[in-house]
């Protein structure tokens, strides 16, 4: 339709934040007139779609009760809501920068509210398991360089993290993996044969809900215990297959167990995560072995890190007593909403309005909701105050953490007329401080 603008530029080494792979090798061709990315070299299909979809929409920067508003008006309205709430909650955070996440925790601290991230509905059980048993882990480059046995459990990276195989773990050549794919043995365990299955040398079709039993049997076999052949009946995998696999695990030089939400969000949850982490730990008595959750959102790992360093706990943190407390099930967002306890919500770069359980969504509809998002969602629909913000990595810089805790700085492609999350949250925090100061009789001083 329209002419292609001549004002093109290429942003090299940009980062895709669409999934937890956080590929930092994007070379983006940007049409600065049309304000859109016309080409994303090296991106997978999901990444290409992510970059291509982003344009600057002709929409107001904010809405209050559905009516267009300025950012400043929306900040005032949002601050009034939060200042008047008794248990305000903050949720989301996995698709924004660490810089914005820092401000969000500061707001939760200031208003003695609750903060939680999408971790509580994806790899929260892995976080809990980590607290229980620890973890042997590695950065993805180490896996590229060394892993000769790669096991995926409960995930479908071919569709969810398309470059996980090619960039990090299966096909790339590495320092001690000179022939790439040929030098690795790949195993996939899942309850159905997904499009990821063809990559595997060995596919284990696990009976649904039987991951824990299977992992526990593997642990026992690693330790030289006897397992009853009835394991096949209960898990779907013959004992002989397990025995061969265990031999392979103990004799590889560098093994890795990747696991996804098929493991963490099914029957057993943190017991499943704990079992797989413990299996990797046990194997270190024989060889070198690591385990890694395959995290979904672009900066969910950053959210875990920021919330942890500021509060000591990774998600589900409550400040109502003036200091952080951690209790998943009590301070996790689905639970706070389903029990009807929260009386205001600040949702950042997330869409609980579409993916939370019905009871939680019903409560969201009853209370004043403030949303920061780059696009319209079910949650912006039900919001009292909705900010339209710039997209991280496309319009704003900032820091994201890849699923293996490697921090990367974003290189924005083009400017947005909308403010970034960090900017909005900082302004909101400053205004809220003034309001709360009045409310608490001048007790709050200007902090650094």
Span 303-342, contacts to ligand SF4 by CB under 6 A: none
E strands within 213-282? 254-259
> Which residue stretch of 17-25, 90-98, 243-251, 361-369 sits at the interface with ligand SF4 (rule: CB under 6 A)?
17-25
How far separated are the first and last CA of the chain, in Å rounded? 51
The residue from 14, 22, 231, 427 that contacts ligand SF4 (CB under 6 A) is 22
CB 52 within 8 Å of CB 16: no
Which residue minimizes CB distance to ligand SF4? 47
The residue from 17, 126, 311, 338 that contacts other proteins (CB under 8 A) is 311
Q: Map tokens 């301070």 to a residue.
A: 331
Helix (H, G, I), strand (E, B) or coil at 428: helix
Instruction: Say whether residue 37 binds other proteins (CB under 8 A).
Output: no
304 binds, among ligand SF4, other proteins, none (CB under 5 to 8 A by kind): other proteins
163 binds, among other proteins, ligand SF4, none (CB under 5 to 8 A by kind): ligand SF4
418 binds, among other proteins, ligand SF4, none (CB under 5 to 8 A by kind): none
Instruction: Say whether residue 258 binds ligand SF4 (CB under 6 A).
Output: no
Instruction: Say whether residue 21 binds ligand SF4 (CB under 6 A).
Output: yes
Contacts of 65 (CB under 8 A, 6+ apart): 384
Instruction: Say whether residue 158 binds ligand SF4 (CB under 6 A).
Output: no
Helix (H, G, I), strand (E, B) or coil at 40: strand
Quote the tokens at residue 99: 């810089």
- Calpha distance 36→290 (Å, rounded): 40
Q: Which of residues 352-391 bind ligand SF4 (CB under 6 A)?
A: none
Q: Which of residues 240-279 bind other proteins (CB under 8 A)?
A: 253-254
Q: Which of 255, 210, 250 is closest to 231 using CA atoms? A: 210
E strands within 198-331? 202-205, 254-259, 288-293, 317-318, 325-326
Q: Which of residues 56-95 bind other proteins (CB under 8 A)?
A: none
By rule CB under 8 A, what count of residues binds other proteins?
Answer: 71
Instruction: Say whether residue 398 binds ligand SF4 (CB under 6 A).
Output: no
Instruction: Say whether residue 18 binds ligand SF4 (CB under 6 A).
Output: yes
Q: Which of 220, 223, 189, 215 is closest to 277 using CA atoms? A: 215
Beta carbon nearer to ligand SF4, 22 or 83: 22
- Calpha distance 383→202 (Å, rounded): 48
Instruction: Say whether residue 16 binds ligand SF4 (CB under 6 A).
Output: yes
Instruction: Say whether residue 130 binds other proteins (CB under 8 A).
Output: yes
Q: What are phi and psi of 374, to 5 degrees?
A: -80, -15
- Calpha distance 393→410 (Å, rounded): 5
> Which residue stretch of 39-47, 327-335, 381-389, 393-401 sits at the interface with ligand SF4 (rule: CB under 6 A)?
39-47
Interface contacts to ligand SF4, rule CB under 6 A: 16, 18-19, 21-23, 43-44, 46-47, 161-163
């Amino acid at each position: 339709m329209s002419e292609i603008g001549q004002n093109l530029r290429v942003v090299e080494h940009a980062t895709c934040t669409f999934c937890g792979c956080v590929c930092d090798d994007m070379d983006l061709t940007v049409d600065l007139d049309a304000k859109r990315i016309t080409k994303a070299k090296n991106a997978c299909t999901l990444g290409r779609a992510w970059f291509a979809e982003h344009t600057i929409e002709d929409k107001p920067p904010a809405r209050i009760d559905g009516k267009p508003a300025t950012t400043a008006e929306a900040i005032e309205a949002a601050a009034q809501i939060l200042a008047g709430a008794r248990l305000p909650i903050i949720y989301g955070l996995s698709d924004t920068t660490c810089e914005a996440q820092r401000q969000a925790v500061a707001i939760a601290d200031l208003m003695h509210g609750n903060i939680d991230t999408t971790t509580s509905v994806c790899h929260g059980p892995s976080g809990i398991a980590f607290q229980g048993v620890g973890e042997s882990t590695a950065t993805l480059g180490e896996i590229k360089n060394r892993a000769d046995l790669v096991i995926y459990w409960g995930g479908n990276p071919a569709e969810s993290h398309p470059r996980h195989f090619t960039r990090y773990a299966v096909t790339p050549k590495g320092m001690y993996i000179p022939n790439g794919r040929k030098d690795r043995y790949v195993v996939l365990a899942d309850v159905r044969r997904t499009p990821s299955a063809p990559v595997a040398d060995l596919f284990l079709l696990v009976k649904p809900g039987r991951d824990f039993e299977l992992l526990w049997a593997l642990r026992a076999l690693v330790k030289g215990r006897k397992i009853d052949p009835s394991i096949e009946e209960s898990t779907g995998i013959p004992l002989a297959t397990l025995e061969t696999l265990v031999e392979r695990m103990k004799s590889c030089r560098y093994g890795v167990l990747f696991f996804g939400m098929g493991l963490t969000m099914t029957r057993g949850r943190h017991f499943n995560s704990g079992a797989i982490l413990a299996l990797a730990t046990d194997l270190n008595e024989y060889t070198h072995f690591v385990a890694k959750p395959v995290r979904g959102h672009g900066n969910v790992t950053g959210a875990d890190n920021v919330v942890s360093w500021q509060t000591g706990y990774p998600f589900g943190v409550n400040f109502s007593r003036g200091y952080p407390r951690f209790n998943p099930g009590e301070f996790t967002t689905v639970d706070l909403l389903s029990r009807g306890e929260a009386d205001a919500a600040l949702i950042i770069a997330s869409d609980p309005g579409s993916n939370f359980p019905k009871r939680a969504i019903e409560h969201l509809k009853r209370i004043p909701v403030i949303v920061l998002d780059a696009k319209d969602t079910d949650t912006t629909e039900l919001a009292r105050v909705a900010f339209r913000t710039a997209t991280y990595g496309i319009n704003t810089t900032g820091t994201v953490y890849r699923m293996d805790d490697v921090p990367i700085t974003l290189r924005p492609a083009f400017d947005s007329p909308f403010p970034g999350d960090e900017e909005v949250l900082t302004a909101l925090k400053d205004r809220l401080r003034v309001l709360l100061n009045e409310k608490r009789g001048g007790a709050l001083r200007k902090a650094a």
